[in-house]
Chains A and B, each alone.
Chain A
């Protein structure tokens, strides 16, 4: 990579020079079937926020059942379950378990981080006018939308939605007789995931092509913002892991529809009725296939969140990110290791115990890059000048909660300990600390941070801080006790914990968790109000309200239709805060030409 911007201009893309097309004026082309990456990003974001509330509502119903098993649900019980006098039947509970997981993973966190922030920010951060393939991008969103519609429909079909857990392990998910949700609801689940595969493949293809090929002059790989790096890594993960699961989905639907037996052994019986299947298949095979997607998917949920935090911390610390290159190397090694640790979800599944030892060692090693990232974030704060606006609060909380989630991961990676805590609330606690305490906290931070660039207005700080405080406290109240319950052996996915003698003494905790969960749920309404109110009534934002360096802050708020008047030339890395070169100002934007003669060696170039 050369540091001379002139040299890059010769090679770089003539496509960037295209004069901006005029913004389409028709309603449909502008608001609905838009090919503009910013509109698509917002569409993804709005849809996912809708699903966040759907998935959250399902969680509230689950928590009610766990605290007060088989009690009538207040207000809506009689409406939902007239037959059982307002209390939920057990098959409904496992449908909640399944769809809460499916929706939160595939329809909330992944599309928010990748579809929402990926689409909105990648072209802005690399200095392009749009994605490489805007039409494919539009198709990606609408296929995702269709997928969401299918999964919502599945809630209302006969037998209810899929009920095999979000991992849909066969034979439970394949045999219609095994559980009511394995009827039409399961077919729709497979269809929805299949559509999701199409949407995400189109999205990742676009992300990769854009990041590889559409960087502005001077935007070398090691000048990319860490969020864009994260999106790059995530796109590779999705592109290579989802098709394997798609093959599995095809095989599973074939098992259900045309009587193959990829995942069915012979000689199965359900309720004393022999299952008609040729047999020879393997239930474990599906687990391998599912987790080959499922584990990279976990990194899809956390890597962009890490990227977001790596953007927010330097801005509000007025200090460069610490260890930029180590951060990049960490993300790339998480990607590499992420492909070879999937079987740690299957330690108790009947896997060859020797193979499990290899997977444990690889899993222990994947904690390393995550640890390096945490240390780098802490070092970024060191000797900074910290401001505590809402995005920063969420980013700091992310670091704190991610540490907890990371450390509890070591318990589960440890094979013998995992024997005891596998499939207990310990697991629930661990991954909610990662996916909620990590990803969703980062998402809240990111929404507050980039809101001005999206809508031209700032979100309310006071509402943001109240929302933060309530969310942080009630989140910990919900999920921290689950570590203890899980250690005690509290099973996940059971509709009634009071069935077991050894769980009954812990029922008070379940009530406490449920009440905290209701507070957590209610706190999100503050966010919703703040979000909607601020779109219309928020304080008008200037171009660079946070005094940040990345390219998106060099253009007006909200970002104009084709982003850049003229494609910017990038002169430095994105974290030039509090260096000598800025004079009075403590930041120098990526695209600012060098004017100060006495600038230090790091001014023009990459981090050492």
Chain B
């Protein structure tokens, strides 16, 4: 069994899956449980405080929430296009779609900031009541994930022309990004539409 330099970039294991991709899936499984813990707690305490929770939910800005949902779904699309671009070796389009994804992510954060600002100006903060506690903690942790995504996407964008940046890295970032999107798709109806 001799080794060649080319192999070094392709850590394919016995299962035929790249270690890094396997690692990302395992990591996401753990992330799912983090949000499951939060969502499970929310559902549990919502049932115990139904009137207060639904009333407070009505105070959220649904149009802005819906806009953010739209923005994030679109960013998932641009992310998918970025992955497609590098798989075909088109680094120009990769850079374009990465940039678009970052812009959309920042737009999401911007809208979120506006929403937070509105809430604070009406004195709705994390200790106002249980609903807003959940609202700020859950959207806060989600926003943190978006922020991490923006940073990672920017690094990938900066190194988009490097030969070290293979399709798998972009695919992995894409996986993470879709996950962040899916979490939001759970949070939006849970918090805004109940």
Contacts and interface: CB of A to CB of B under 8 A. Distances in A.
Most buried by A among B14, B31, B35: B14
Contact of B137 (A204, A213, A260, A279): A260
Interface in B131-155: 133-134, 137, 141
Interface string B19-52: 1001100110111011111101100110011001
Contacts of A277: 127
B17 A213 contact: yes
20 contacts: A11-B16, A14-B12, A15-B11, A15-B12, A17-B7, A18-B3, A18-B7, A204-B30, A205-B23, A205-B27, A219-B14, A250-B38, A250-B137, A260-B127, A260-B137, A278-B127, A278-B130, A280-B130, A285-B44, A566-B1
A89 interface: no
Closest 6 CB pairs of A and B: A213-B13, A247-B37, A259-B127, A14-B7, A244-B37, A260-B133
Contact of A243 (B10, B19, B23, B33): B33
Contact of A289 (B7, B13, B14, B37): B37
Contacts of B16: 11
Interface in A96-149: 132-133
Contacts of A209: 13, 19, 22-23, 26
Contacts of A280: 45, 48-49, 52, 129-130
Contact of B30 (A219, A243, A251, A279): A243
Contacts of A288: 44
A176 interface: no
B3 A281 contact: no
For chain B, the bracket of interface size reads 35 or more
A294 to B, nearest CB: 13
Given A247-B38, A262-B41, A280-B49, A17 B133 contact: no
B14 A262 contact: no
Contact of A259 (B13, B30, B44, B126): B126
Nearest to A207: B26
A250 B141 contact: yes
Nearest to B128: A278
B22 A246 contact: no
A19 B30 contact: no
B163 interface: no
Contact of A245 (B31, B37, B133, B137): B37
Given A212-B15, A247-B41, A261 B30 contact: no
A567 interface: yes
B41 A289 contact: yes
Interface in A278-315: 278-282, 285, 288-289, 292
B121 to A, nearest CB: 18
Nearest to A245: B37
A351 to B, nearest CB: 13
A208 B19 CA distance: 10
Contacts of B14: 8, 11-13, 212-215, 219
For chain A, the bracket of interface size reads 35 or more
A288 B40 CA distance: 10
Interface in A222-252: 239-248, 250-251
Contacts of B37: 243-248, 289, 292
A239 B48 CA distance: 29
A462 interface: no
B123 to A, nearest CB: 13
A175 to B, nearest CB: 14
B122 interface: no
Interface string A255-266: 000111110000
Contacts of A248: 37, 41
Contacts of B23: 132-133, 205, 209
A390 B13 CA distance: 38
B162 interface: no
A9 B34 CA distance: 38
A590 interface: no
Contacts of B11: 13-15, 132
Nearest to A569: B1
B34 A258 contact: no
A441 B34 CA distance: 34
Contacts of B126: 254, 258-260
A201 interface: yes
B88 interface: no
Contacts of A254: 126, 133, 137
B26 A239 contact: yes
Contacts of A214: 13-14, 19
B113 to A, nearest CB: 18
B8 interface: yes
A242 B34 CA distance: 8
A605 B2 CA distance: 26
Most buried by B among A11, A243, A245: A243
A254 B137 CA distance: 8
Contacts of B128: 278
A213 B15 contact: yes
A278 B127 CA distance: 7
Given A18-B3, A254-B137, A567-B1, A133 B41 contact: no
Given A205-B23, A243-B37, A280-B45, A262 B13 contact: no
B134 to A, nearest CB: 8
Given A12-B14, A17-B2, A258 B33 contact: no
Contacts of B129: 278, 280
B30 A258 contact: no
B22 A212 contact: yes
A9 B1 CA distance: 9
B133 A15 contact: no
B104 to A, nearest CB: 27
A282 B44 contact: yes
A213 B25 CA distance: 13
Given A13-B12, A132-B13, A240-B29, 10 more contacts: A11-B14, A15-B13, A19-B3, A209-B26, A213-B15, A213-B17, A213-B19, A214-B14, A259-B126, A261-B130
A19 B5 CA distance: 10
Contacts of B127: 258-261, 277-278
A14 B45 contact: no
A585 B49 CA distance: 71
Most buried by A among B19, B22, B126: B19
Contacts of A213: 13-15, 17, 19, 22
Contacts of A17: 1-3, 7
A286 to B, nearest CB: 9
A240 B37 CA distance: 10
A444 to B, nearest CB: 32
Contact of A240 (B10, B33, B141): B33
Contact of A18 (B8, B41, B137): B8
Nearest to A214: B13
Contacts of B36: 243-244, 247
A244 B33 contact: yes
Contacts of B130: 260-262, 278-281
